[in-house]
């Protein structure tokens, strides 16, 4: 220890001064994070709320218009279409992704701890949405893509996938299931490895089947991981943007114009900053509400193992 | 009972093999396309093997060929330089990883160990910030960065991410709370200052979780698209994700420049593969750890 800090410590020994030193050090330590939080989270959130009550195209100064933006979005069919599409998207994406991830995790837990296998399974998640979207844009190309080649060689009809208003959203969901199933599997696998083996041994002695063990031991004890996976993947999925920006740009015929894509185009293509902010406020309210309900319903914090 | 058990293992193997095949197959398609002449795309796009392999696509997306040569080889004539984008991605990710990890460690330690007025309120706000959708803050942040004159600058690109991210603080705080207090208390009785204890005792004991959070920040930032897309469209500051998207949309009507695009993608994947080869165990375990113990 340096001479000076020994000296300072001696000086700050009396209780109130110790407390003062503690407070001072604490604020010094949180200062950078506090600046980042204030400048780039707290103030912008307040600013967004403020902007949501204005009409602003970034050229002239913002004009206060009260609740007009909120009234407008209430009657804006494309806003509700965006909300509806984001919800559909979550339903197309999450159940299948979670199920595949869970079964993959159970399979890996039984078969292998190989770091090579785990790396391969995780690989798609380590690549950006943009990159993954471009790979699939090529593979799903209606004329040249390998997927349509496979389909036609099986004697089935060519599919438009991203080019079809009926298939585009589901196709985007499929692309993201490909990217995320390994991540979900890895998270579940970590949870599985914390379940004491003797529970399964005891169940086997009792003659339980694999399905019974999965249903009555694995699933209940995975609850904390399940909550984490569901909260993060549902909120992330509802805010899908990157893949859509790269593959469909909201089309065809608005069939993938999900809420975040609609907000971003309003803000940065049409310069409707006030209107976009109002929509983002509604989105934020929905996301916060969902997170709180989900945590409440699934009692996130307490584990059955504790 | 034994029979159903082995049947179960067989099913497990089938699931695993299928998933591995589905995961790996697209990479072969990407590499194979990247090695094709662009003229062959229309006739040989579904071959399993490039019939006349070439590295010309790699050369042109790395900016190693003149515009005329590259148009002749099937390029759109758009200026592309993925080596610059790769460099920008490294700087962007590296700066955020270093600054955010340091800032998160410092504040997480204060939240975990020190008593100070406002501690619970501030920490609560940090955690709550995780629930706010990115699109809410991106609009005012964009305006702030524009007003500061930081558009198309590295400063503007890293600013919103580098100082605070709720998850990093939350994650490291959990770790510091779980750390046994004895060493720190002993040092305190010896007369060490709080900062000394943080820097010389707590930090050296936290190398593993620090690497974990740095890895997670790194993965997220390497893949970030929307923010750099909004503030750094200029070619000199494009990161890989933005460069890939703009390369795709620069191509004229009709088909994108598939072979060039796949070459660019192959190059963009290399750092990830390298990371997995060098630190595979660390990366996988970091991600697994992010869901809580």
Mean pLDDT by 10 residues, chain A (306 residues): 57 63 91 95 94 89 90 94 95 95 90 89 94 93 86 86 91 96 93 88 88 89 86 90 92 92 94 94 94 76 53
B122 inside 8 A of chain A by CB: yes
**Domains observed in chain A:** 3-51 (no CATH), 71-297 (1.10.3720.10)
**Predicted local confidence at residue B83, as pLDDT:** 86
Q: Which of B110, B129, B293 has the CB atom closest to A29's CB atom?
A: B110
B51 touches chain A (CB under 8 A): no
Beta strands, E only, B97-172: none
A194 close contact with B: CB closer than 8 A: yes
Kindly state whether A123 is in contact with chain B, defined as any CB-CB distance less than 8 angstroms: yes
CB A255 within 8 A of CB A166: yes
Find, in chain B, the residue whose alpha carbon is nearest to that of A193: B293
Compute mean pLDDT per 10 residues along chain B, 293 residues long, and list them: 66 89 92 84 72 80 72 65 90 96 96 91 92 91 93 93 92 91 88 90 91 92 94 90 87 74 90 89 86 59
Contact B288 A10 (CB under 8 A): no
Predicted pLDDT of residue B2: 46
Inter-chain contact A37–B276, Cβ cutoff 8 Å?
no
* CA nearest neighbour of A275 among A265, A290, A286, A289: A265
Q: Residue A299: left if φ>0, alpha if ψ -120 to 50, beta else—which one?
A: left
In this prediction, residue B185 carries a pLDDT of 87
Å between A80 CA and nearest CA of chain B:
17
Q: Point out which residues pair with B230 in neighbouring strands.
A: none
Chain B closest CA to A232's CA: distance in Å? Answer: 10
Calculate the average pLDDT of chain A: 88
pLDDT at A122: 92
Q: Chain B closest CA to A166's CA: distance in Å?
A: 22
Task: Tell me the chain A residues in contact with residue B125 when contact means C-beta distances shorter than 8 Å.
Answer: 37, 42
Please answer yes or no on whether A51 and B225 come within 8 Å at the CB atom. Answer: no
On the CB side of A174, CA atoms within 13 Å amount to: 15
> Quick one: pLDDT at residue B5?
61
Cβ distance of A45 and B223 shorter than 8 Å: no
Please report the domains of chain B, with CATH numbers, ordered by start residue.
Answer: 97-214 (1.10.3720.10)
CB distance A34 to B103 below 8 Å: no
């Amino acid at each position: 220890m340096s001479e000076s800090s020994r000296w300072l410590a001696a000086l700050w020994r009396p209780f109130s001064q110790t407390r003062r030193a503690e407070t001072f050090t604490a604020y010094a330590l949180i200062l950078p994070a506090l600046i980042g939080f204030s400048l780039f989270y707290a103030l912008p959130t307040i600013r967004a709320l403020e902007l949501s009550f204005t009409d602003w195209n970034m050229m002239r100064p913002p004009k206060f218009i009260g609740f007009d933006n909120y009234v407008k979005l209430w009657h804006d069919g494309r806003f509700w279409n965006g909300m509806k599409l984001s919800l559909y998207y979550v339903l197309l994406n999450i159940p299948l992704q979670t199920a595949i991830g869970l079964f993959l995790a159970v399979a890996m837990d039984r078969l292998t701890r190989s770091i090579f296998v785990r790396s391969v399974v995780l690989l798609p998640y380590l690549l950006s949405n943009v990159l993954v979207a471009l790979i699939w844009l090529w593979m799903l190309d209606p004329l040249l893509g390998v997927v349509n080649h496979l389909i036609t060689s099986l004697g089935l009809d060519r599919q438009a996938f991203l080019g079809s208003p009926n298939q585009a959203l589901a196709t985007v969901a499929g692309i993201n299931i490909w990217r995320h199933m390994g991540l979900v599997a890895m998270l579940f696998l970590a949870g599985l490895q914390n379940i004491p083996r003797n529970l399964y041994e005891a169940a086997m002695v009792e003659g339980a089947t694999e399905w019974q063990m999965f249903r009555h031991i694995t699933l209940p004890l995975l609850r904390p991981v399940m909550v984490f996976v569901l909260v993060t993947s549902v909120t992330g999925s509802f805010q899908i943007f990157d893949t859509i920006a790269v593959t469909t740009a909201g089309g065809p015929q608005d069939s993938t114009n999900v809420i975040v894509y609609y907000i971003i185009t309003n803000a940065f293509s049409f310069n409707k900053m006030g209107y976009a902010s109002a929509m983002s406020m509604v989105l934020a309210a929905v996301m916060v509400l969902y997170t709180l309900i989900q945590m409440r319903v699934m009692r996130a914090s307490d584990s059955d193992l504790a | 009972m034994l029979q159903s058990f082995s049947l179960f293992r067989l099913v497990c193997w089938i699931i695993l093999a299928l998933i591995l095949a589905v995961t790996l197959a697209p990479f072969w398609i990407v590499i194979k396309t990247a090695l094709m002449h662009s003229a062959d795309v229309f006739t040989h796009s579904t071959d399993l093997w490039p019939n006349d392999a070439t590295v010309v696509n790699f050369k042109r997306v790395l900016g190693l060929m003149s515009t005329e040569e590259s148009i002749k080889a099937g390029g759109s004539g758009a200026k592309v330089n993925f080596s610059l984008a790769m460099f920008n991605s490294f700087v962007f990710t590296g700066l955020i990883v270093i600054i955010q990890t340091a800032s998160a460690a410092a504040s997480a330690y204060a939240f975990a160990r020190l008593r100070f007025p406002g501690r619970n309120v501030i920490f609560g706000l940090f955690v709550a910030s995780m629930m706010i959708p990115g699109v809410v803050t991106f609009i005012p942040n964009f305006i702030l960065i524009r007003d500061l004159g930081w558009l198309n600058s590295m400063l503007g690109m890293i600013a919103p991410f580098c100082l605070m991210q709720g998850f990093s603080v939350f994650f490291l705080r959990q770790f510091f709370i779980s750390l046994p207090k004895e060493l720190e208390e002993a040092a305190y009785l010896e007369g060490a200052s709080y900062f000394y204890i943080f820097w010389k005792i707590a930090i050296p004991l936290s190398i593993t979780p620090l690497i974990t959070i740095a890895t997670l920040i790194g993965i997220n930032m390497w893949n970030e698209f929307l923010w750099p897309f909004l503030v750094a469209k200029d070619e000199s500051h494009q990161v890989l994700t933005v460069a890939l998207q703009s390369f795709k949309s620069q191509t004229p009507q009709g088909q994108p420049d598939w072979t060039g695009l796949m070459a660019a993608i192959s190059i963009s994947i290399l750092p990830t593969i390298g990371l997995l080869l060098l630190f595979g165990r660390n990366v996988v375990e970091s991600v697994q750890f992010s869901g809580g113990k």
